[in-house]
Amino acid sequence: MQTKQVETAGQRFKNIKVLNDMPADQMGKVMNLMSASLGVNCNFCHVENDFAKDDKEEKQAARQMITMTFALNKNYFDNRPEISCNTCHGGKTHPQNAPNLNAIAMAQERPKQPATKPLVDAILEKYTQAVGGKENLAKINSRVVTASRVEPNGKTETEEISQKGNKILIVTKYPQAVVSEAFDGTNAWKRANADDIKLKTDEAEQIKRNAQIFAFNDLKTVYSKLEYRFTDKIDGREVYLVNATTADNQRERLYFDAANGLLIRRVSSVPTVLGNFQYQVDYTEYKDFGGVKLPATVRHTMPNVSWTRKILEVKNNGAIDDAKFNAPKK
């Protein structure tokens, strides 16, 4: 059986000197990792509107640094991407050779671990009760949500979310386009106006997971393995970290508030040649909408990308045609 040939960055893009053998689909993620690691935008290294040009010395320096990083990982970590841009830069354009003396004061000590580990079943049951209980959850068979999508610069767009069982459709109205993304119960799709947007495997998985979490599915049906790891802190509150693995071996970290049982964070990651590209979703400000609590504020964060969804109105149990979730035919 022939193995499918993976297109490389050197084959797809112009003037690639160091990342030639990297899968082409990693390019966007790797560029975002570098931007976030240095706290800069694309034009720090690239000529605007012509990324292939070599006019800027920062681009030459970046190639040298990538070569150094690959060599360190090869020579000291058996080619595992343990060293990344962020290892030395930490959000600054130049590596810092002196320690941050405020770091000790800022450090948050991990809380004392419980004498007896909490059972995953107990954590999940507390979560179910916290959002309304099985009886109330069972009463909601569909919902239409009006929300605002807030960008880092404060600009807002209108969103409408339709959900029915495992299915979800999110329509965001930008000035220049209407973007739709959906999970139809089996497959994920995305379009801008009438143009399809090709989804990478991890992007499709995130849309699917968004649908599953938003539907308050029994997490045991979402993940084939759930394991309590330890008690940690987020924003001063104790949380239970649960490692979650799907049937196809997608791994995520789930954080539940130890006091009230609510899911407050979900983190997943995708490996790249320069380290893991992380997806983080924070769920806050849970409010009661028809007997079931939804996080009224949901923040999505990735390297160099973030936005926040704020729920404005929820209408439960209205009629929604299943065809609404299907990808439009051309």
pLDDT per position as a tens digit, 41-62? 999 999 998 999 999 999 999 9
- How far from the centroid of its chain's Cα atoms is residue 238's Cα? 22
Same-domain check for residues 169 and 308? yes
Residue 102 placed within a domain: no
Band (268; pLDDT cuts 50, 70, 90): very high
Calculate mean pLDDT across residues 280-296.
97
Mean pLDDT value of segment 177-191? 96
pLDDT at 108: 64
Among the candidates 70, 89, 108, a domain finishes at 89
176: CATH: 2.50.20.10
Whether 169 and 182 have beta carbons less than 8 Å apart is answered as yes
Per-residue pLDDT for 3 more than 70?
no
**What is the per-residue pLDDT for 248?**
86
Ordered DSSP codes for 214-255: HTT--HHHH-SEEEEEEEEEETTEEEEEEEEE-TT--EEEEE
Q: Are residues 84 and 173 in the same domain?
A: no
Residue 94, domain member (yes or no) = no
Q: Tell me: the pLDDT tens digits for 222-238?
A: 999 999 999 999 999 99
**Are 149 and 292 in the same domain?**
yes
pLDDT at 1 > cutoff 60: no
> Rounded to two decimals, what is the model's pTM?
0.92
Q: Residue 95 falls within a domain, yes or no?
A: no
Average pLDDT, the chain: 93
Please check whether residue 253 is in contact with residue 266, taking contact to mean a CB–CB distance below 8 angstroms: yes
Q: Are residues 137 and 193 in the same domain?
A: yes
Same domain, 68 and 127: no
In a domain, 31, yes or no: yes
Q: Kindly report the backbone phi and psi dihedral angles of residue 95, in degrees, each rounded to the nearest multiple of 5, phi listed first.
A: -60, 145
Binned at pLDDT 50, 70 and 90, residue 16 comes out as very high
On whether both 201 and 310 belong to a single domain, the answer is: yes
In the chain, the number of structural domains is 2
Confidence of residue 328 (pLDDT cuts 50, 70, 90): confident
- What CATH code is carried by the domain that includes residue 73? 1.10.468.10
pLDDT band for 103, please (50, 70, 90 cuts).
Answer: low
